[in-house]
Structure 1
Amino acid sequence: MGFRLAAYAVCIEDERILLARCVLPTGGSNWTLPGGKVEQAEDPFDAVIREVVEETGYDAAVERLLGVDSRVIPAAEAWSGAEHQNVGIFYRVRITGGTLRPEVNGSVAESVWTPIPEVARLCRSSLVDVGLALAQTLPATGHVAHVPVGGLIQH
């Protein structure tokens, strides 16, 4: 089984959330949160700031830890074709500077501010729903119910 530790940014301003359109290895694309893999020996706190800069061009500051999501993706649904566990650490971040732009030499084709009510109509990663649920409910445990995938929601 594959394993990935990742850090994700939930950035909400004026009832809009910052989303990144990720080009998938399968050739399609979906919307997700800025963020990604925590490198070996890297602190997840630092990783989320690095990922926001890389994927959006914005500088960011962490406001708070929102929570942690762990999910096992069956081989039939994983992009790699092998069973995979993703552990995501979600942070509330605010933008402190920079200029919005596509990721340089990366998988993010564009990042946009999306009105929260429009998110439900997007083909998106389940990470978006998890991040929004954490930001909107601020559960004391830092855990939200599992987000089922299917339809417009993907792993």
Structure 2
Amino acid sequence: MSFRLAAYGVCRVDGRVLLARYVSPGGEGTWWTLPGGQVEFAEDPVVAVVRELEEETGLQGVVEQLLGVDSRVIPAHEARRGEVHQNVGVFYGVRVVGGVVRPEANGETAEAVWTPVAEIPALDRSVVVDVGVGLATQRPASGHLPPVAIGGLVRY
């Protein structure tokens, strides 16, 4: 079994959300996700989400709010490495305060786009998009949503 702690930023402006187009280095394809990624050892998740936002999009941000936490176990037959994997995602509301949108230098993010929320259901995307947008719009007191179904355009 493998485990990953990740921090994701939900950046919203005028009915749009900042999405990053991920390009898999393993050739599995491309899909949309939220800016964010792995929390390094001894790194605070708040620091990680701001770092990841800048690395992946060129934008600087300020964490305004903890939106919630999502924990999901990916079965071995669906996991990239072929072993059971648990991902714990910490989701933050992040306000962009500077920078210029650009692709990630030598990375896996090909572009970042301010996307109207209404267009998200038609995108091939990571489940973290649905979780993050759901947490930001529904604002559950528990900071937790019911599981988001995987399938169709929604993937791990």
TM-score, scaled relative to structure 2 = 0.98
In 2, Cα distance between the equivalents of 1:40 and 1:111? 26
Residue 144 of structure 2 corresponds to which residue in structure 1?
A: 143
The alignment-based identity, stated in percent, is 60
**1:16 and 2:12 equivalent?**
no
Contiguous gaps of at least 5 residues in structure 1: none
1:82 is displaced (CA, Å) by: 1.4
Residue 69 of structure 1 corresponds to which residue in structure 2?
A: 70
Residue 131 of structure 2 corresponds to which residue in structure 1?
A: 130
SS of the equivalent of 2:71 reads strand
Amino acid at match of 2:17: I
**1:46 and 2:47 equivalent?**
yes
Residue 154 of structure 1 corresponds to which residue in structure 2?
A: 155
Residue 80 of structure 2 corresponds to which residue in structure 1?
A: 79
1:83 is displaced (CA, Å) by: 1.1
In 1, Cα distance between the equivalents of 2:38 and 2:50? 12
SS of the equivalent of 2:5 reads strand
In 1, Cα distance between the equivalents of 2:76 and 2:30? 19
> Post-superposition, which runs of at least 4 consecutive aligned residues in structure 1 deviate over 6 A?
none
Q: Identify which range, 74-83 or 50-59, moves more after superposition.
A: 74-83
SS of the equivalent of 1:90 reads strand
In 1, Cα distance between the equivalents of 2:100 and 2:137? 27
Residue 6 of structure 2 corresponds to which residue in structure 1?
A: 6
1:76 is displaced (CA, Å) by: 1.2
Residue 91 of structure 1 corresponds to which residue in structure 2?
A: 92
1:134 is displaced (CA, Å) by: 0.2
Amino acid at match of 1:90: F
Residue 113 of structure 2 corresponds to which residue in structure 1?
A: 112
1:95 is displaced (CA, Å) by: 0.4
1:26 is displaced (CA, Å) by: 3.4
In 2, Cα distance between the equivalents of 1:19 and 1:80? 25
1:14 is displaced (CA, Å) by: 0.7
In 1, Cα distance between the equivalents of 2:59 and 2:27? 28
Kept in 2, the 8 Å contact 1:66–1:134? The answer is: yes
Q: Identify which range, 28-37 or 74-83, moves more after superposition.
A: 74-83
TM-score, scaled relative to structure 1 = 0.98
Amino acid at match of 2:79: A
1:27 is displaced (CA, Å) by: 3.3
Amino acid at match of 1:135: A
